[in-house]
Amino acid sequence: MTGARSGRWYIAISVIIIVAVMILVEPIAQDPAYHLFADSRRMLGVPNFWNVISNLPFLIVGLYGLIFVTRYPDVVFDAAMRWPWRVFFAGTAITAFGSGYFHLAPANETLLWDRLTMTIGFAAFLAIVIGEYLSVRAARMLLLPLLIIGAASVVYWHLTESAGNGDLRPYAIVQFLPILLIPAILIMHRKVSDLTDSIWILIGFYVAAKLLEHFDAGVYAMTGVMSGHALKHVVAALAPAVLIVALRRRREERRSPVNAVP
């Protein structure tokens, strides 16, 4: 069995197991305390100023990445992978608007748009990893279904929450399944792509961002300037920035006289 085929089987089996486990778990409603952030200061007429403005790095990184992969399509080793990269950076950019809108008035109604925009980046990134390490064909075929599944999980949560019986289980699968699958793919196929080290760094930034989110109030009490949640946005935006650096390095190496075709 080839490495690519075994990787696809691993993904399929993991998805089946995790979905089965989540079905056995009771529905998970949204915790109302999720909307209570440590720093609610209004500045320049903007409520929750730092939690809103700290989303700006998503827009900057996302637009830069989108322009870069569009201007230099050769950084993508296969033409079929151009769309996953474009969607990934576009999703990063619009996350600034979805998250910013949510933090202007934190509530389930605005959280819908925050989560919808984030799932675009999650889905496209998983497709990128599949294409880089397992199968370009599979990545191309899975991109749209992954986007639809991600959006559907958020809409399902919103509808169930509005009906008074909120259920976050599908969204939890969409958000956390890649966190389990991607490290395993990197370990099993670590030499397949030149992005491996960069993706590990990206994962590190993501973990750091989740820790900052968890210790929102503690970080605010310690710094007295910015809360953990605001810093989370900045650190989370550094994750896709790492991939831009990797793609720039890939382009420079391909243009190097050593690698040039005579």
pLDDT band with cut points at 50, 70 and 90 for residue 26: confident
- Give the mean model confidence (pLDDT) for residues 234-243: 97
Q: Which of 79-93, 138-152, 248-262 has the lowest mean pLDDT?
A: 248-262
DSSP state, 48? T
| Cα(50)–Cα(103) distance, integer angstroms | 9
Q: What is the pLDDT of residues 49-70, one digit of tens each?
A: 999 999 999 999 999 999 999 9
Q: Which residues contact 117 (CB under 8 A, 6 or more apart)?
A: 91, 94, 95, 97, 98, 99
Query: Could you tell me if 217 and 228 are in contact, meaning their C-beta atoms sit under 8 angstroms apart?
Result: yes
Average pLDDT over residues 33-55: 95
Close Cβ partners of 189 (under 8 Å, ≥ 6 residues apart): 3, 7, 133, 134
CA distance 196 to 207: 17
Asked if pLDDT for residue 10 goes beyond 90, the answer is no
| Cα dihedral sign, 5-180-151-116 | negative
Q: What DSSP string describes 12-30? A: HHHHHHHHHHHHHSPP-PP
Spatial distance between the Cα atoms of 182 and 134, rounded to a whole number of angstroms: 11
> Cα separation of 260 and 253, whole Å?
9
pTM: 0.89
Residue 81 is classified by DSSP as: G
Cα separation, 236 vs 14, in Å, equals 26
Residue 162 burial (CB count, 10 A): 12
**Percentage of the chain modeled with pLDDT above 70:** 93
Bridge partners of residue 43, in order along the sequence: 46
203: its two tokens: 């994962």
